Amino acid sequence: MTDDSSARVTRALLDYRSIWTTHDLVELSQAPAADVRRIIDELRTRSLVERGRGGIIAVPDWFLLLTHWAATPTAGRSSRWKGTDLFAQLATSPIRYAVTGTHAAAFWTATPTTAPAVVYTPDHEAAATAWHLTPAPTGNVVLVEPPTDAVYLRRRSTPTGLRLAAPAQVLADLLSESNGTPTPTTQALANWMHNHLFEWRY
């Protein structure tokens, strides 16, 4: 999760049940070809992807790839805020955003959470103004300016219009936050993803 190309290529490998050529990955991820080749070579050395006849690329175990990605340090500016009716405001907000963390996971797993809501958005100040948030060191909202736009890829919308980060992104974020230590939420989301591959991995 260090740079835009790595995030885009990894998300492509995770989000789609497919076999790939380098050209396919370049087309879908929109990452430069040189970056794609570098990333695939690195993943091959860790046995996280395989190359077959004709240079075909496959992912033998999506969960191992995701946990490796989640363990890679990332950078993103975050800030803490306090607000009310956040999700109702987000559902009709024109500002770019994606909910991640335990609140996003709860949509698929029904796991209760009292943790702050974590929301990716490009501009903290603009979002805080639009969503009527006030700065608070122990507030119930965390806004994150992500280091890559890949966090917004293939977002899911709830019936109320709330936009969630994709399941792979949410699980990677949760694992990264817990330093890879299993939690009830990460285990529940991983189980849901294993049991519902056709719903998130096309």
Q: What is the pLDDT of residues 19-44, one digit of tens each?
A: 999 999 999 999 999 999 999 999 99
Note whether 23 and 87 are same-domain residues: no
Do residues 52 and 102 both lie within one domain? no
Split into its structural domains, the chain has a count of 2
Question: Is residue 42 in some structural domain?
Answer: yes
The pLDDT, as a whole number, for residue 2 is 46
Q: Read off the pTM.
A: 0.95
Distance of alpha carbon 138 from alpha carbon 38, whole angstroms: 41
For residue 130, pLDDT over 70 is answered with yes
- Domain around 160: 77-200
Q: 145, 76 in Cβ contact below 8 A?
A: yes
Q: What tokens appear for 181 in the block? A: 């230590």
124 plus 196 within the same structural domain: yes
Q: Are residues 83 and 178 in the same domain?
A: yes
Q: Quick check: is 69 in a domain?
A: no
pLDDT digits (tens, 9 = 90+) for 39-80: 999 999 999 999 998 889 999 999 999 999 999 877 689 999
Q: Are residues 98 and 157 in the same domain?
A: yes
Do 94 and 188 fall within a single domain?
A: yes
Confidence grade of residue 1 (pLDDT, cut at 50, 70, 90)? very low
CATH of the domain at 30: 1.10.10.10
